Structures are given as C-alpha cells and as structure tokens.
Amino acid sequence: MGDGRGDEEECRVALLNGGGAAKEGWQVVSGGDGKLRRRVWEESRKLWVIVAPAIFSRVVTYSMNVITQAFAGHLGDLELAAISIANTVVVGFNFGLMLGMASALETLCGQAFGAKKYHMMGVYMQRSWIVLLACAVLLLPMYIYAEDVLLLTGQPPELSAMAGRVSVWFIPLHLSFAFLFPLQRFLQCQMKNFASAAASGVALCVHVAISWLLVSRFRFGLVGIALTLNFSWWATAAMLFAYVACGGCPETWNGLSLEAFAGLLENWYYRILILLTGNLKNAAIAVDALSICMTINAWELMIPLAFFAGTGVRVANELGAGNGKGARFATIVSSVTSLVIGLFFWVLIVGLHDKFALIFTSSDVVLDAVDNLSVLLAFTILLNSIQPVLSGVAVGSGWQSMVAYVNIGTYYLIGIPMGILLGWLFKLGVLGIWAGMIGGTAVQTLILAIITIRCDWDKEAMIASTRMDKWSQVR
C-alpha cells in the first residue's frame, strides 16, 4: 500500500525487538493488532494476579511505618527526627541488606516453580531462613551501638541519644526480617500473594489499635511505638507461617528438613541522604523534612516493588519453563505498566506539593521545607517506577551478582560523590545532595535497561533449564 505503511511496520518490528532479530518481531506483528492486544492482555492478567495483592500487602505493611512516624511527629519535632533516624537509617540499613539477600530466593523458587520442581521450594526457603538469621545476629551491634554510630556520622548529640535508645527496642523487628522475607518470596513464586495481603491487612488493623493504646492511652512514647512495630511484623510472619504449615502449600512445603543445611544495597542508598543531611545547618528541621519525603517515597515505592516481585516471578517462571520469548514479553508489559503508574504519582505529588506533609506534622517550618523538596520527590518517584522492574528482571534471570556491581558503581562511585559535590562544594544543601543521588539512580537505571534490551532470552531459558536440572540432582 506504499512506502509509508511499510516504514511504519518496520518501526513497529524494531521497537518490539529493541532493534534486534527481525524475524521474532515479524512473528509478533504478523498476527495483527488484535493478536498483539490479546498477548498484552493475557500477560497483564498473569502479572496483575501477582502484582495486585503484592501492592496491597507492601503498601499496607509500609503503612505501619507511616502510622509510626505520624504518631511520633505529633509527640514533637525531636521525637519525629529520632524515630526517623532510628527507623530509616538503623533499621533501614539492615532492612535493605536482608531484603537484598532474600532476593536470591526469588530466583531459586521462581525457576523451581516454573520447572515444576515443587519439592525444592520449601528447602530453599529454610536455607534462606538460616542464612538471614545468621546475618541478622551479626548485625545486632548496629542497634546496640546506634548512638555511637550516629555521633560518628555527625548527627546532633541529643538526636543521636534519643535515636540510640529507641533503636535497641527495634531488635525484635530486625529479627523478624529473617523469617518474613523468605515467607513472602516463597508465596510470591507460587502466585499466592493473597495470603500475604490478608495477613498484612489483619496486622495493620492490630497495629493501629495497639499504637493508639500504647502511645495515646498509656503514654509509652517512642518505646511504645517501637513495641507496636515489633508486634505487628512478628504477627504478620506468624500468620504466614501458619498458612504455609497448616496446608496452604501442600506441594511445596513438606515440613522442616535437614536438607536445608546442605549445599548478601539499594535500600541503603537513600538512607545515606538522611545521614548527610544531619551534618547541615538546622539539622533537626532538615532531617524532619527529608524523612517525610523519604517516607512518602518509600510508601509509593511499595507499588514498584510489587512489580519487582511480579516481574521476577513471571520472568523466572517463563525461563524455568524454557520460554525465553515469554520472559521478554513479560518484561515489556511490566515495565510499561509500572511506568504509567509512576507518572500518575508524579502528577499527584506535584499537585499536592504543599499539603501531603500535613499527615506527619503541623509545624510551618517543616511544611515549608518539605514543599521545597517536593519537586525532587516527584522525580525520584518517577525514576523509581522503572528501576525496580528492571531489577526484577535481573532477579528472575539470576543476574544478582552483576546487578550488585552495577549498584555499587552507580550508587557509591557516582551518586554519593555527586551529591556531596553539589551539596557542599556548590552549597546547594539537601537539594544538591538529593539531586546528585538521583543522578546515580538514573545511571543505574540506564545500565540495567541496556542490559535488559541486549539480553538473549533463548540463551537465558537454556541456562535456567540447566540450572534446575543441576539443583534437582544435588538434592
């Protein structure tokens, strides 16, 4: 019908293939737009079966932290800063480290599920419990000596002392990570996120009630806030374990096994921003404003992290089943969907730039400081809508080692030095620190995108099949 239509068809082929294999692209397009729409719908359906309950579960779980900071903020500005430092820096560091370690379980369980080797999934989860619990014990000194650590990073003495005292009360919460994270990933890989969603919903209701009781009624202050978080997280873990052990996963859980003894940075990145801010003038106000922004960012991040989980499971399942093209298509659908949601929240933050901090404080000084940071918050949310999805592709494909090197290089050799340069040398303060660190995230996202686009999915499917055969023989 003419050269114009032919050029358009070629462009569609090139876009679908990332500039590569024309034959594969032609197979996608030749069936017509109707076939492509059906494939997108079917892949979206599979993705949302995992993502929808995962979004609910993660948002509800993080809402416990939001409620915690809201109660602390209404106790006073110093209390809000102290709970933010303890929860964001001390707990956040360990949370990020153990969450990263637990991601290896998504590769193992996801590909085992795709290869129908169900019997190994319970064993992998128990191995993950052992490794994460050992790691949790080794990290306990950070809670015990939190005040000294915070003083070394330049935090004000009064703030460090209060944050140090409350950090000790977060030790039970810290230990819960070792059990909860593997349970969540174990269920995700079987498309049983509804169990996590139900447990999180019940825990949130209990959390609100106990927070009011201990903080508002009995006036336990920051200790009461910490005790409430401890109880809520352990309650979630206990409910999930009861579901698994009492018949919820008959094919993949056969009880505790000695076989588990056979045969560890991204979440910490933005925690450094809080530490660097503590060295600026008017540190308490700066920390308050930044912690509110980071809480909003992390709250919304629960949605992309759900896509991280969903993408990892979908890619791992398809690769484990030997379907490289299915893994590639799952990546495309998940990336586009998460980006659209990120654009929505970008618009929301820009529109509510001077209002969303009212959740946490009524201080005019803090509200103005948050308003000044709202544009950076909006762009951080937008950028984070795609980066976790690409990380999920890496987890599902078993590329954790490579991604770890990318994270270290972009975060700690680019982002943090750039933030320090802009914050202190160019005297841009917290705006400069944050902008520089966003630059590190942008570089990381670009590298992960290039790696994903250039991936040979058929080869990855063969590697996954070989891996599963070897693991089943080791068993």
Predicted confidence band at 172 (pLDDT cuts at 50, 70, 90)?
Answer: very high
The span from the CA of 310 to the CA of 55, in Å, is 10
The span from the CA of 268 to the CA of 364, in Å, is 29
Q: What is the reported pLDDT for 8?
A: 41
Predicted confidence band at 351 (pLDDT cuts at 50, 70, 90)?
Answer: very high
The span from the CA of 432 to the CA of 419, in Å, is 6
Per residue in 409-468, pLDDT (tens digit) is 888 889 889 988 998 888 888 888 889 888 998 999 999 999 999 999 988 888 887 766
Mean pLDDT over residues 162-166, rounded? 91
**Higher per-residue confidence, 254 vs 280:** 254
Q: What is the reported pLDDT for 348?
A: 93
**Higher per-residue confidence, 162 vs 94:** 162
Note whether 313 and 111 are within 8 A (CB): no
158 Cβ neighbours under 8 A, 6+ residues apart: 78
Mean pLDDT over residues 306-317, rounded? 87
133 Cβ neighbours under 8 A, 6+ residues apart: 175, 178, 179
Mean pLDDT over residues 326-353, rounded? 93
Q: Taking 80 as the threshold, does the pLDDT of residue 199 lie above it? A: yes
Verdict on whether the full-model pTM lies above 0.75? no
The span from the CA of 277 to the CA of 298, in Å, is 18
What count of Cα atoms within 13 Å lies in the side-chain half-sphere of residue 39? Answer: 19
Q: Taking 90 as the threshold, does the pLDDT of residue 369 lie above it? A: no
37 Cβ neighbours under 8 A, 6+ residues apart: none
Per residue in 134-157, pLDDT (tens digit) is 888 988 999 999 999 889 888 889
Predicted confidence band at 271 (pLDDT cuts at 50, 70, 90)?
Answer: low
Q: Taking 80 as the threshold, does the pLDDT of residue 280 lie above it? A: no
Q: What is the reported pLDDT for 257?
A: 65
Tokens 């999934």 belong to which residue? 121
Q: What is the reported pLDDT for 168?
A: 93
The Cα-based distances of 460 to 49, 59, 396 in angstroms read 24, 32, 10
* Count of Cβ atoms closer than 10 Å to residue 162 Cβ: 21
Per residue in 382-422, pLDDT (tens digit) is 998 998 899 889 888 888 778 878 888 888 889 889 988 99
Per residue in 60-99, pLDDT (tens digit) is 888 998 898 888 887 888 888 888 888 877 787 778 778 7
For residue 411, give the nearest of 450, 442, 453, 380 by alpha carbon.
442
38 Cβ neighbours under 8 A, 6+ residues apart: none
**Higher per-residue confidence, 262 vs 229:** 229
Q: Taking 50 as the threshold, does the pLDDT of residue 353 lie above it? A: yes
SS (H, E, C) 200-250: HHHHHHHHHHHHHHHHHHCCCHHHHHHHHHHHHHHHHHHHHHHHHHHHHCC
- Range with lowest mean pLDDT among 166-170, 231-235, 286-290, 383-387: 286-290
Mean pLDDT over residues 207-226, rounded? 88
For residue 294, give the nearest of 270, 267, 268 by alpha carbon.
270
- Range with lowest mean pLDDT among 9-18, 199-208, 246-255, 382-391: 9-18
